[in-house]
Structures are given as structure tokens and as C-alpha cells.
Amino acid sequence: MEIVILVAVIAVVLLGVISGLVVSGRKKKAAGEKPESTQATTTAPAEPHVGEEATGTAEAPRRTIEEVGLPPAEAEAPPAPAPAEPAIEEPEPSAGRLVRLRSRLSRSQNTLGKGLLTLLSREHLDDATWEEIEDTLLSADVGVAPTQELVERLRERVRILGTRTPEELRALLRAELLTLVGPDLDRTVHTETQGPVDRPGVVLVVGVNGTGKTTTTGKLGRVLVADGKSVVLGAADTFRAAAADQLQTWGKRVGARTVRGPEAGDPASVAFDAVKEGTEEGADVVLIDTAGRLHTKTGLMDELGKVKRVVEKQGPVDEVLLVLDATTGQNGLVQARVFAEVVDITGIVLTKLDGTAKGGIVVAVQRELGVPVKLVGLGEGADDLAPFEAEAFVDALIGGE
Ligand SMILES: Nc1nc2c(ncn2[C@@H]2O[C@H](COP(=O)(O)OP(=O)(O)O)[C@@H](O)[C@H]2O)c(=O)[nH]1
Ligand SMILES: [Mg+2]
């Protein structure tokens, strides 16, 4: 019996010794510099084959457990900062942007001014030349009625002028184009509440998908923040989650909060909530981005009309901006007409004027709607939205100085 107990004790002691050895072996492996090379400790270092990198670890002098420093404990490291929120940007002020961005405009535009000046400089301005002038204006999207008016006035003034120097012609054309564009129209974007009520100004942004509504809403938010205003964005384009994300991204960059609803939710209720929350938190302006599906006119009418009506339960909408892609020319005018029937447009934003758009569209769309162009988009950059200035625009049309 005692022998049995003795054998058992010996077995237990032996087991303990063996397991102790195994554990210390493992520790050494774990402390090795290259865990992937631990095989080298159990198998003879293989000769590297041709093309293989010799790891060298097998030759490295063994270190004792005391020599091996503990790997820096991750738990002790200061908690990694949450994925860094991008720093809030300080957008540049919007004053004078059109002058600064004029070169973008003139890239595609000044063919109009140059073409007209060349034609007007001809020795004999016969009917054929006047027709050419008319065609030049029409192909620059100026529109039929404004073109005829301009040609008539130019004919009259050139006749009175008699002989004409290039400088005189340039001044004459500049003055007439300016009259056409409307130097005295009120192009203020109304972002302030009318009247004594203390609530945010409300701006509704409408237009066909792809024209640049969300981008414009984001850029306008930046302009307002640069002017020291607090802005709340309403993502009332609820048809695609991506649309709300896109708006939210714009907002985050300048510290403007975005109110959004469930995907496929009711756009009008998101718009309502945005104004309500903006009012509660004392924001200066609420900008509401909408969806612009133009499947059916009645569908659009129902939806946009409802958005506006629902927002108006809390007070009037101060500005309704229609966003038009300037490169779509006459097509844009057709869209403009449809939208104008649905909501009272108070201002036009012409986007993509930096591209192949023709400047005449400014004249045509103002005529069509009787509403001024208030802002122009001159690129995809965050600060590429400029307040429209008639003089700077006409100078860009005529080109050079
Ligand atoms: N070149 C240029 N691209 C623009 C301008 N405004 C918007 N875009 C681009 O047009 C595309 C559609 O814009 P988005 O705001 O999503 O249109 P939405 O569907 O009306 O909301 C995007 O790729 C924008 O970057 C502009 O002024 N110039
Ligand atoms: Mg959009």
C-alpha cells in the first residue's frame, strides 16, 4: 500500500516538473522576437532554399526570460482616441468670390463676348451680320425674346454711334449685356426671418436630382457659418440614405448638425423636425435639402407642396432656391417651369457654370421665371459657390480687359 502511495507521489511530482518545463518553453517561444519563426526552436534550422529569405532568427543568440522585456502592454496604453472627428473647417467668406472665380467662368463663356465683339467690329453691319449676331446669342442660350431685344438695342446704338472704335463697342456691349442680366435685381439670399418672431430663417432647396442641390446646400451652409451663423441642415431627401449621409458630411465639416429621418420616411416630417429643432436650439438658419425625382409632375407637386406646407405650420419659408444645372440649357428651363408651378421660387442657383455651360442661360432663366439668379456654382470644391454679381459676370462674358 505504501509503495502504491509512493509511486503515486512520484508520478505527481514528475508530472509537475514536466508541465513546468513545457510552460517555460512556451513562454520563451512567446517572448521570441518573431513569433512566426518559432518553428526554428523546435526543428533544426533549415538551409534556405534558393530564392528564400534567410530569417536569421535561428542564429540570433537566445535570450533568457529575464532579458526579454515584456511587450508594451496594450491595456496600459492610453485609450486610442475615437476615430478622429475631422477638425471643423473655417470656410472663407463669400464676398467677392465671383470676381476671384471669374477665370473659371470665362473658360467656357468668353466665346460669346469675343464672338459678338468680332461681329460688331465689321466695317459694314449688314442684315447678314446682324443675323449672325442673333445666332451667336441664341446658341449661347440667351433665349429668343432677350436676343431680339438686345439686337434691336445694339442696332439702334451702333447707328447713333456711327464710326466706332473697339473700346466704344466693348463699352456698348457691356452696358447692353448688363441691362439684360439685370444690374439692379435684389439677389439677397433671405436667410433671416422676416418679422419680429424669434425663429431661424428657413431656406428650402429644390430641383431635379443631379443638379447639385445637396452640394449647394452644403456649400451654402459653409457660407453662413463663415458669416458667423449657426446652421441646422434638414435632410428631406429621404429616398436614399446616401443623400442624408452626403448632407451630413457637408455639415460635419463646419459643425452644422443634420436632422434626418428614417430611410424612405416622410420628407415633410423631416423638414418639419429640422425647423422645430432649429427653433428649439436657437439656430440662425435651417437649410432643407429635398429630393427631386421628376417621375411625374403630380408626384413632385404633391411631395414638394406638402414639404412647404408642413414647414409653414411653424412660420413662412424665407427663401425657396431652385437649383438648375447650367449645362442642361433649354432642358433646365423646362424643369424650372415645372418647379415654379409647384412652389414659389424666390431665387435661382445655377450650378456647373465652370463647365461647358453657356452664360446666356442666366438671362433666359431669369426671364422665364421672373426670379433672379442669386448664387452660381463654379466647381465641386467646398467654397466654389459664389453670390451672383451682374457686373463681374458680364465682364467674364466679354473676356479680357
Ligand atoms: N463642376 C461642378 N460640379 C458640381 C457643381 N455643383 C454640383 N456639382 C456636382 O454635381 C453632382 C451632383 O450633385 P448633388 O449635390 O449630389 O446633386 P443633387 O442630386 O441635386 O443633390 C456632384 O458630383 C457634384 O459634385 C458645380 O458648381 N460645378
Ligand atoms: Mg441630393
Confidence of residue 146 (pLDDT cuts 50, 70, 90): very high
Q: Is the pLDDT of residue 208 over 50?
A: yes
Confidence of residue 240 (pLDDT cuts 50, 70, 90): confident
Which three cell numbers mark 222? 459653409
CATH number of domain containing 356: 3.40.50.300
Q: What is the pLDDT of residue 378?
A: 93
Helix (H) or strand (E) holding 368: helix 361-369
How much distance in Å is there from the Cα of 212 to the middle of ligand 2? 7
Which residue from 112, 284, 323, 90 is spatially nearest to 204, judged by alpha carbons?
323
Residue 120 is given by DSSP the state H
Q: Is 47 a member of any domain? A: no
How much distance in Å is there from the Cα of 218 to the middle of ligand 1? 11
Q: Count Cβ atoms within 10 A of the Cβ of residue 181 and give its class: 0-12 exposed, 13-18 middle, 19 or more buried.
A: buried
Please identify, by atom number, the ligand 1 atom nearest to the C-alpha of residue 289: 21
Which three cell numbers mark 218? 452644403
Nearest CA owner, ligand 1 atom 14 = 212
Which ligand does the CA of 384 lie closest to?
1
Q: Is 207 annotated as a binding residue?
A: yes
Q: Is 107 annotated as a binding residue?
A: no
Q: In whole numbers, what is the pLDDT of the chain averaged over residues?
A: 81
Same domain, 237 and 381: yes
Confidence of residue 161 (pLDDT cuts 50, 70, 90): confident
Q: Is 332 a member of any domain? A: yes
Residue 385 is given by DSSP the state E
CATH number of domain containing 129: 1.20.120.140
DSSP, collapsed to helix, strand or coil, labels residue 219 as helix
Which ligand does the CA of 239 lie closest to?
2
Please identify, by atom number, the ligand 1 atom nearest to the C-alpha of residue 377: 27
Q: Is the pLDDT of residue 283 over 70?
A: yes
Please identify, by atom number, the ligand 1 atom nearest to the C-alpha of residue 217: 15
Mean pLDDT of all residues in 34-56: 43
Q: Is the pLDDT of residue 311 over 90?
A: yes
Same domain, 165 and 244: no
Percent of the chain topping pLDDT 90: 51
Of the given ranges (4-18, 35-49, 246-260), which has the lowest mean pLDDT?
Answer: 35-49
Of the given ranges (44-48, 150-154, 236-240), which has the lowest mean pLDDT?
Answer: 44-48
Q: How far is CA 325 from the centre of its chain?
A: 14
Q: What is the 3-state secondary structure (H, E, C) of 52-106?
A: CCCCCHHHCCCCCCCCCCCCCCHHHCCCCCCCCCCCCCCCCCCCCHHHHCHHHHH
How much distance in Å is there from the Cα of 210 to the middle of ligand 2? 7
Which three cell numbers mark 56? 536569421
Confidence of residue 94 (pLDDT cuts 50, 70, 90): confident
Q: What is the pLDDT of residue 257?
A: 97
Final residue of a structural domain among 181, 210, 239: 181
Domain count, the chain: 2
The whole-angstrom separation of Cα 91 and Cα 349 is 20
Q: What is the pLDDT of residue 86?
A: 66
Which three cell numbers mark 346? 424666390
Q: Which amino acid is at 101?
A: L
Q: Is 223 a member of any domain? A: yes
Same domain, 235 and 330: yes
How much distance in Å is there from the Cα of 276 to the middle of ligand 1? 28
Same domain, 251 and 310: yes
How much distance in Å is there from the Cα of 306 to the middle of ligand 2? 18
DSSP, collapsed to helix, strand or coil, labels residue 265 as coil
Which residue from 235, 215, 248, 231 is spatially nearest to 286, judged by alpha carbons?
231
Higher pLDDT: 162 or 111? It is: 162
The whole-angstrom separation of Cα 219 and Cα 189 is 13
For residue 123, the enclosing domain spans: 94-181
Mean pLDDT of all residues in 213-218: 97
Residues with CB under 6 A from ligand 1: 207, 209-215, 292, 351-352, 354-355, 377-380, 384
pLDDT tens figures, 174-183: 999 999 999 9
Q: Count Cβ atoms within 10 A of the Cβ of residue 364 and give its class: 0-12 exposed, 13-18 middle, 19 or more buried.
A: buried
Q: Is 219 annotated as a binding residue?
A: no
Q: What is the pLDDT of residue 84?
A: 63
Q: What is the pLDDT of residue 89?
A: 84
Q: Is the pLDDT of residue 61 over 60?
A: no
Q: Is 169 a member of any domain? A: yes
Residue that is written with C-alpha cell 415633410 in the block: 268
**Ligand 1 binding pocket mutation candidate from 104, 208, 215, 327 (most atoms within 8 A of CB):** 215
